[in-house]
Amino acid sequence: MLTLSSLKTGVATPGYDRRQLQTRMVHIGFGAFHRAHQALCSDTLARDHNSNWGYCEINLNSGELINALNAQQGLYSVAEMSGDAITLRVIGVVKQGIHAKSAGMNAVIEALSQPEVAIVSLTMTEKGYCHHPASARLNLDHPDIIHDLAYPDTPRSVPGIILAAIRRRRQRKLPPFSVMSCDNMPENGKVTRQVVSELARQQDPALADWIVSEIAFPSTMVDRIVPAMTEETHRLLREKLGCDDPVAVACEPFFQWVIEDNFVSGRPSWEKAGAQLVNDVVPFEEMKLRMLNGSHSFLAYLGNLAGYEYISDCMADEHFRQAARQLMLAEQAPTLSIRGVDLVAYADSLIARYENCAIRHRTAQIAIDGTQKLPQRWLESIRWHLRNGSRFDLLALGVAGWMRYVGGLNEQGGNIEIRDPLKERLAQCVASSGQGSARVSALLSLQEVFADDLRHSAVFTERVNTFYQQLLRQGAKATVQQLVKRD
């Protein structure tokens, strides 16, 4: 267990009076990314600028991390890793941890209803928004949304929890809070406002109108590679720390956070800790989602099929390395609206980050929840190319690679564990279609992913079909090699 007295010399500690912190932020989704990103940034403010903005951390499902966090009085460590270099730091900005299943949903809603809470932030992956990724509309058929409509005071979904807290705060005449998504979705603030206000409109139209006019939903763009912890990483950090830390997280040195400056009840001065406060996040998030996340997903599906366990393994294959860079610059960059950024330099910096062997980022981890990720990472770019009559071969190969991946078998004949909110639907498509063009047609029928325009595009379906057949015939390595050599 991590305590300040158990640490080896050289590990940076909070260095500020933690008693000054107030619980002014509640975060839902105490995962690795939040621990290495938003919480670290807020800890920098407390350490270097005397900020008193502290966190209450909430996990809705797993209680193991929250229990470990509370046992350590809210302390945990972050390791920035590059090559053989490791920089360790203890984070102290967390005041409280709550596990919803243990404490009960009323305790969660009460945490959000504390008078001093000004910001509720979220990192729960795209599927936690209970929406249709292709339209960003609330999924009224989602089991948790059906439950929340029937039992609004004991919600299960995050939109339902936020709505219950807003309702309770309004009843108590407390100030509104801002709801800040930090998930990888385009215009994530608008998506959050959409699902919360749509759910409210189903229950109380007047409350929905009040939410739209009084609650702020700032959009953000977040960037830092934070792989899942492994036993090997825990062992390495245990040696460096001098003690065990089950809440520890490892990440790359790079950090970026772009935030729409739109808050109703104040915010920390995150810009003093390296964040960028802007009027419009969209150009930044488009750049990151399409160039970084889009190439990551390409490497995840094609690389995993080819037998590469980590992104750094993909980078050791010159053809995969070249394909990732080509995807960024030839097929993603032209679709962007951002100005004043050297996109070639940005692409090269991403390749350099992918080459960091100290960051063991599994292709299988990135491949999770593909049905939620494809629309913003690839499909909007493909629509741009269809409108402009330009080539999108690597994007089409990525879609074909995803279709091959969700078949559940890799090229070596081993089983692939499919982790996706539409897992059962995917399995039905696979089981009912066999291989070949029938498989492609079955997966394109997923309306919430592809929508009618792509399903009925002869150019799109033909190109995906061609690459899918090629993957079946010659495998991912040869297909990628042939495509980059042709270009």
Per-residue model confidence as pLDDT tens digits over 4-57: 999 998 899 999 999 999 999 999 999 999 999 999 999 999 999 999 999 999
- Rounded to an integer, what distance in angstroms lies between the CA atom of residue 32 and that of residue 249? 6
**β 276-278/137-138 pair status:** unpaired
Residue ranges per structural domain of the chain: 4-278, 282-486
If one counts every other C-beta atom within 10 angstroms of the C-beta of residue 224, the result is 18
Highest mean pLDDT among 317-321, 427-431, 432-436: 317-321
Structurally, at CATH architecture level, domain 4-278 sits in 3-Layer(aba) Sandwich (3.40)
Predicted confidence (pLDDT) at residue 359 exceeds the cutoff of 90: no
The one-letter amino acid at 299: L
Spatial separation of the C-alpha atoms in residues 217 and 264, rounded to whole Å: 9
Helix (H) or strand (E) holding 53: strand 53-59
Give the dihedral of Cα atoms 238, 243, 248, 252; nearest 10 deg: -50
**Side-chain half-sphere of 201: how many Cα atoms within 13 Å?**
11
Question: How many angstroms separate the CA atoms of 421 and 425, rounded?
Answer: 9
Alpha-carbon gap, residue 99 to 105, rounded angstroms: 9
Residue 487, pLDDT score:
65
pLDDT the model gives residue 95: 97
Number of other CB atoms surrounding residue 383 within 10 Å: 18
The pLDDT of residue 261 is 98
Give the mean model confidence (pLDDT) for residues 84-99.
95
pTM of structure: 0.87
Summary mean pLDDT of the chain? 95
How do residues 44-80 score in pLDDT, each as one tens digit?
999 999 999 999 999 999 899 999 999 999 999 999 9
Task: Tell me the pLDDT band of 133, cut-offs 50, 70 and 90.
Answer: confident
Q: Is the fold of 4-278 the same as that of 282-486?
A: no
pLDDT cut 90: percent of the chain above it? 91
pLDDT, tens digit, 9 for 90 and up, residues 446-485: 998 998 999 999 999 999 999 999 999 999 999 999 999 8
In angstroms, the CA 299 to CA 285 distance is 20
Lowest mean pLDDT of 139-143, 156-160, 266-270, 356-360, name the range. 356-360
| Contact predicate 210/233, CB 8 Å | no
How far, in Å, CA of 270 to CA of 49, rounded?
10
**CB neighbourhood size of 66 (10 A):** 22
pLDDT of residue 83 exceeding 90: no
| Confidence band of 260 (pLDDT split at 50, 70, 90) | very high
Residue 458, CA distances (Å) to 146, 263, 454, 466 in order: 37, 45, 8, 12
Q: Does domain 282-486 have CATH number 1.10.10.10?
A: no
112 in helix, strand or coil? helix
Whether pLDDT at 246 is above 70: yes
Mean pLDDT of 367-392: 96
DSSP output for 406-422: TTSB-TTS-B-----TT
Burial 33-54 (b: 16+ CB within 10 A, else e): bbbbbbbbbbbbbbbeeebbbb
Contact 96, 18 (CB under 8 A): no
pLDDT band (50, 70, 90) for residue 281: very high
Quick one: pLDDT at residue 134? Answer: 78
pLDDT digits (tens, 9 = 90+) for 152-208: 999 999 999 999 999 999 999 999 999 999 999 889 999 999 999 999 999 999 999
Residue 195: CB atoms within 10 A of its CB come to: 27
